[in-house]
Structure 1
């Protein structure tokens, strides 16, 4: 689970001018059909840095934070627009996140640096705090303001005073502690301990371990549902979630989920819990009332879902897709309406089209000038005959290709090829649209083969739309694309 030091890579820096529209199309598909298994092509995604791991929502400023391990950065997403608005350099191998609603600070566990970076509500890194070693989870006690940081090795929890941002105490717990959770009802902190298959309970007043609760095999994440008072533990090796009654600190249920559950988030807008299953690229949805799995969401082949978080204000669920360097977004509550998107004319050479110009940046100039690699792709798409005219009504979602993971695939497909391929996909009608936001991948591959598209274009389609890994797409090519 803990990764070795990696060479830093520059994260994609582009503004996703159409991913916003894709998010809206998911509402009917997800909330009106509780038994639905969602196809990967319908999940909107936001490009972040390299090898993202954890995600958290800061209720103080409404921003969403994503750690990027290989980039040594944190991506900041504006929850109102689902756009990346900042990329912050932090320590080496940032993995775990915790947000403090008392002062708006965000705490980042830098795994290989052995420290915690502190980001304030203005999205500035204001402090770095040394801890014992290999921080492996962060929890915030909203009663005392203390920050609890677990350390995989040597098996301790550091207590940080958020008023001074200094370590005030170190608590010894069971072997290889992972992501803890704070229970506001009883004031306790629950620490999953991987090697002992147990959860150590710390009294938030005395900072003493007061109980040890046996759970499933390989516990690695804890969360608390304040609505029912239960504590939920993801057991990586058992493929289960243990349910602890916070009043008695006893196991009351064990829920079977997908393969290798990694993280859990509670959605206060609908009472559900969401569990990322890293081993089978799915998310299990659990009813907080019945503790039963009510839905399984397919995040996409090769997505390797890791962290997960819920925006308590709008109910959006953010899933870290480490395999595609992106964050998927589930849902929007009924009645939510996006801001009016105002198209502005943009011309590239002899080609004229439109871009959305009122979301707080300048896409028109960026497309024209090719400011970032993503806009080199857009220029290539335009000159190859693609059209963005009428975005937000019935046009093809070129964002499915040019936004999301496309920028991070330059080692396989050049920016110009990416744009040219996108234009081809649009011409063949095999990109999701406003009226048809689910495209059968096999149908798209068949259309590309019939059009005698280059093998690379078909492989790229499988990766960008079908959610395949490059290795899986190349295997399809070697076998003659049996899927289509």
Structure 2
């Protein structure tokens, strides 16, 4: 199953890249005083983490107990996972199982699955495009968007009816993305052409593209919609883009960066450095978005890929693809405080609000 990782990206990038992969919610800002307020404390009794495991499962982790409490088996490789804004639904993208000796298996349609976050019951499965990568809900909960990596487009799913209502063309090889807090724009990293597509979710069209650098994997967007961050896998860098001017600054991070996540107060961006399966990286870069500098490099497990922070900004959680674990990181100490064993080849990760 781990070889699925290499096949996935070889087909879209046409280069020797072994990478799979690629989480930001909201920040509380008082617009009148321009002072940031601390995010409300989450109820850990009912708070969960979910990991998308390429080996064919979704792991559900109790935040309070810091352990896996259930595992949902899935037919296919689960590439990405995302919790809805109200915390009631978990959505995941699933790539069909590769069939040995059948080249046409690469053309099999993928699917998005929607799961009740409390009962683990599958609510609906929706067929999307070829090799779906990431799935993200709009903040208003109206839509779930899926990037179809081989089809060069995004499926827009109505979350009440669970049907595709629109398909928006993007650049080549769309992969990771984030949606603005006002639910109006989606920022899609196009791995195959070194750009980010900005999609207008009112007109349902690509509004423009921004050139950001080599092999962009995924994005993050600040709550004021002014600063875009993009992991550049082949440059070992995080691009920081001023959306008013399209000026791109690059910050060197670890080897083979995959996912990036902006914590709730918009102060830091956390970059998971994966490397490759043959030469895995094992670190998390903590980038100050004001100074545009790495302020801490945190040792994690092999193949750090997915990353998310807790609603109160106190903890970060990182999936380690090549050792099937999740690292729990204390953000004040900048160190791992616990490691949890999960399903095979954990990729994306998401947390209930």
TMscore range, shorter length: 0.7 to 0.9
Distance in structure 2 (CA, Å) of the matches to 1:89 and 1:28: 27
Answer yes or no: is the 8 Å Cα contact 1:60–1:121 preserved in 2.
no
Tell me how large the CA RMSD over aligned residues is: 2.6
Q: C-alpha offsets along residues 317-368 of structure 1, whole Å, 9 cap, x if unaligned?
A: xxxxxxxxxxxxxxxxxxxxxxxxxxxxxxxxxxxxxxxxxxxxxxxxxxxx
- Residue 241 of structure 1 is aligned with which of 280, 284, 297? 284
Corresponding residue for residue 344 of structure 1: none
User: How far off its partner does 1:291 sit?
Assistant: 1.9
Answer yes or no: is the 8 Å Cα contact 2:114–2:123 preserved in 1.
yes
Distance in structure 1 (CA, Å) of the matches to 2:237 and 2:313: 29
Distance in structure 2 (CA, Å) of the matches to 1:186 and 1:295: 34
Answer yes or no: is the 8 Å Cα contact 2:83–2:350 preserved in 1.
yes
CA shift in 2, pair 1:197/1:27, >3 Å: closer
- Name which structure has the greater RCO, CA cutoff 8 Å, separation 6+: 2
Q: Which runs of 5+ in 1 are unaligned?
A: 7-22, 313-484
- Residue 177 of structure 1 is aligned with which of 184, 209, 216? 216
User: How far off its partner does 1:142 sit?
Assistant: 1.7
User: How far off its partner does 1:262 sit?
Assistant: 1.0
With the length of structure 2 as denominator, give the TM-score of the two structures: 0.74
Corresponding residue for residue 108 of structure 1: 146
Between Structure 1 and Structure 2, whose CA radius of gyration is higher?
A: 1
- Residue 68 of structure 1 is aligned with which of 94, 98, 116? 94
Answer yes or no: is the 8 Å Cα contact 2:227–2:240 preserved in 1.
yes
Matched, 1:268 2:304: no
Matched, 1:157 2:196: yes
CA shift in 2, pair 1:266/1:5, >3 Å: closer
SS at match of 2:234: coil
Corresponding residue for residue 351 of structure 2: 310
Answer yes or no: is the 8 Å Cα contact 1:186–1:246 preserved in 2.
no
With the length of structure 1 as denominator, give the TM-score of the two structures: 0.55
CA shift in 2, pair 1:2/1:136, >3 Å: farther
Corresponding residue for residue 64 of structure 2: 31
Answer yes or no: is the 8 Å Cα contact 1:114–1:131 preserved in 2.
yes
Distance in structure 1 (CA, Å) of the matches to 2:220 and 2:206: 18
Corresponding residue for residue 424 of structure 1: none
Corresponding residue for residue 53 of structure 1: 79
User: How far off its partner does 1:185 sit?
Assistant: 5.8
Larger proportion of strand: 2
User: How far off its partner does 1:30 sit?
Assistant: 6.8
User: How far off its partner does 1:201 sit?
Assistant: 1.2
Which 10-residue stretch deviates more, 45-54 or 277-286? Answer: 45-54
SS at match of 2:218: coil
CA shift in 2, pair 1:120/1:51, >3 Å: same
Which 10-residue stretch deviates more, 249-258 or 98-107? Answer: 98-107
Larger proportion of helix: 1
Corresponding residue for residue 293 of structure 2: 250
User: How far off its partner does 1:48 sit?
Assistant: 3.0
Answer yes or no: is the 8 Å Cα contact 2:320–2:346 preserved in 1.
yes
Distance in structure 1 (CA, Å) of the matches to 2:146 and 2:6: 15
Corresponding residue for residue 146 of structure 1: 185
Alignment length, in residue pairs?
A: 284
Corresponding residue for residue 215 of structure 1: 253
Q: Which runs of 5+ in 2 are unaligned?
A: 11-47, 49-58, 97-108, 276-280
Distance in structure 1 (CA, Å) of the matches to 2:131 and 2:120: 24
Distance in structure 2 (CA, Å) of the matches to 1:2 and 1:151: 17
Corresponding residue for residue 192 of structure 1: 231
Corresponding residue for residue 286 of structure 1: 329
Which 10-residue stretch deviates more, 130-139 or 196-205? Answer: 196-205
